[in-house]
Amino acid sequence: LGWGSKARRIQAAELDQTSAVAESIAQDKDLTKRLLHAAGVPVPLGRPVKDVEEAWLVAQEVGLPVVVKPQDGNQGKGVVVNITTHEQLKAAFATASEFGDDIMVERFLPGHDFRLLVVGGQLVAAARREPPQVLGDGQHTIRELVDIVNQDPRRGSGHGTALTKIRLDDIASPPKGSRPNPCRPRASACATDVTDDVHPDIAARAVEAAQTIGLHICGVDVVCETMLRPLEEQNGGIVEVNAAPGLRMHLAPSFGKPRNVGVPMVDELFAPGQDGRIPLVAVTGTNGKTTTTRLIAHLFTSHGWRTAMTNTDGVY
């Protein structure tokens, strides 16, 4: 966006001034959690593990139930929650290992899954994410019910539509009237805007997390019962900090008010009164265009302005 030396660059939800170091920290869940804990931000207890037996020891240290997840995963891939037995943990470790070599075990925080979007030191949007659900009718398998739900024109592949098609592996026949969760990937979750409900203390914690990691645009994942009370009062915590967070849940939530998060992102690129543009003088006519262009460039340069010039002789 912008011209020449005043141009700024943005890719997805990453700004050009965000350092590679900050992005690298955000990808390392263990390092992120240790930095947040040192800054006084509430996070679930836990640490990386090498095998199933060490994972079980950590689970007993932090207290059951626990969560097992890849240390550098994204979009909820390979994350297994609410683990209470050794057999469950063994299966969860295998699942997480499919998405990464480094595995973490941490205390399970009960509550809802929230995503808070921080831009430039301010909370600009918040959404509650719910896993996709299907209603059992006693006749169709879960896969068949999912296929029916995926016929919704709002669901598609990638991020070009309001919702992503549900994907699942296991097939079962749910009892009539039950609401099984066929999967829990965050990419296909339904989002409800809760921006107006966020308690000031939770907003401050989210901003503190983004600043601790060094991200100008940051998606802060919070697990707690409600956005209406501070995290410390409900044993909630920040479970992840994301560079290049998804914006669709805020721009087009399944329920609630859409938030135009692009405005604060562009405002973060350009200071007040700046628009990234460079004054341009165009010279046209029959004769004398090059001479006139050189004269104007000389006047601008004499005035102390950094000036570029192009004419029939070349680009200067």
Locate the domains of the chain by residue range: 1-42+110-128+191-275, 45-108, 132-183, 279-316
> CA 249, CA 193: separation in Å to the nearest integer?
8
pLDDT(187) > 60: no
Give residue 88's identity as a one-letter amino acid code. Q
pLDDT(183) > 60: no
Q: Which CATH number fits domain 1-42+110-128+191-275: 3.30.420.10, 3.30.470.20, 3.10.105.10, 3.40.50.1390?
A: 3.30.470.20
pLDDT value at residue 157? 77
Query: Which of 32-46, 75-89, 135-149 has maximum average pLDDT?
Result: 32-46
State the maximum Cα–Cα separation within the chain, in Å, rounded to a whole number: 87
Residues linked to residue 263 through DSSP beta bridges, in sequence order = none
Mean pLDDT on 81-109: 93
pLDDT value at residue 175? 53
HEC readout, the chain: CCCHHHCCCEECCEECCCCHHHHHHHHCHHHHHHHHHHCCCCCCCEEEECCHHHHHHHHHHHCCCEEEEECCCCCCCCCEEEECCHHHHHHHHHHHHCCCCCEEEEECCCCEEEEEEEECCEEEEEEEEECCCCCCCCCCCHHHHHHHHCCCCCEECCCCCCEECCCCCCCCCCCCCCCCCCCCCHHHCEEEECHHHCCHHHHHHHHHHHHHHCCCEEEEEEEECCCCCCHHHHCCEEEEEEECCCCHHHHCCCECCCCCCHHHHHHHHCCCCCCCCCCCCCCCCCCCHHHHHHHHHHHHHHCCCCCCCEECCEEC
- Report the percent of the chain where pLDDT is more than 70: 92
CA 39 to mean position of chain CA atoms: 21
- At the fourth CATH level, the homologous superfamily of domain 45-108 is ATP-grasp fold, A domain (3.30.1490.20)
pLDDT(296) > 60: yes
pLDDT value at residue 185? 47
* Other Cβ atoms closer than 10 A to 258: 13
Q: Could you report the per-residue pLDDT of 211-267, keeping only the tens digit for each?
A: 999 999 999 999 999 999 999 999 999 999 999 999 999 999 989 999 999 999 999
More confident residue, 241 or 185: 241
Q: Could you report the per-residue pLDDT of 19-64, keeping only the tens digit for each?
A: 999 999 999 989 999 999 999 999 999 999 999 999 999 999 999 9
pLDDT(133) > 80: no
pLDDT(4) > 60: yes
Mean pLDDT on 133-142: 83
pLDDT value at residue 167? 76
Q: How many residues does the chain have?
A: 316
DSSP conformation class of 255: B
pLDDT value at residue 166? 79
pTM score of the predicted model: 0.82
pLDDT value at residue 73? 73
